[in-house]
Amino acid sequence: MSRRILLQHNSGEWHGLFIRLDQNGIEQTRFATVLHVQEDSDHVVAALTDCTTGQTRSMRFKDLPTGMQVNPDGHWSLGPDPFTAWNWNYELCLAHGQQRRRLIVRGNSTGLQSVVMVQEARAGVQLIDPVLPLNCWIERQGSHQLWSFQPDLRMELDARSCSLQWLQSSGNWLSIKRHYGEDGALLALPSSAVAGAIDQA
């Protein structure tokens, strides 16, 4: 069921822009990409091409990878299961119609190391590139961090949780959260609502 939902909302060709930021939210580099997601011989195949270098990296799986979570709207997250403070990498994706927003978050025992913000759209859909260089606004309270990449895109990061939130034109927020218990076990996806509002389209 989860694999079918994943393909229903995420398959096809996506044209994207990857922006890599350091732990202070300052842009380090950006590059355009083309991603192809399809079903082939009962496997899900994702092939990402860096348009700058021409290099393609592929991922292929039959069953959902261990630690991958997919909600009924096709939003998903991927990361370690169980959590370990020594080396943690999260990927979160919100898929909505002809567009997607993704984050790739990397950290270790010393804390957050880097964040990659990704905006993607299907062929023919034009996206506005973020300002160059991108410099995020970050609010820190202890281990909790709130990152604002753009007025409509933000991340909340804590010791054992990470969420991606995307504001829609309707005024509602789409959200997906990856979080772990005190024992390091991956917890179930919470409701995708933020502040009680969610665009279900």
Q: Confidence class of residue 191 from pLDDT cuts 50, 70 and 90?
A: low
E-strand spans in the chain?
Answer: 12-22, 27-40, 43-50, 56-61, 69-70, 76-78, 87-96, 99-108, 111-122, 137-141, 144-150, 153-158, 161-167, 173-179
Q: The whole model's pTM is what?
A: 0.92
d(Cα 39, Cα 161) in Å, to the nearest integer?
A: 31
Q: What would the pLDDT profile of 6-21 be if each residue is shown by its tens digit? A: 999 999 999 999 999 9
Mean pLDDT rounded to a whole number for the chain:
93
d(Cα 5, Cα 41) in Å, to the nearest integer?
A: 18
Residue-level pLDDT at 37 = 97
Whether residue 133 contacts residue 153, with contact meaning beta carbons closer than 8 Å, is answered with no
Q: What would the pLDDT profile of 115-138 be if each residue is shown by its tens digit? A: 999 999 998 999 999 999 999 999
Q: Confidence class of residue 1 from pLDDT cuts 50, 70 and 90?
A: low
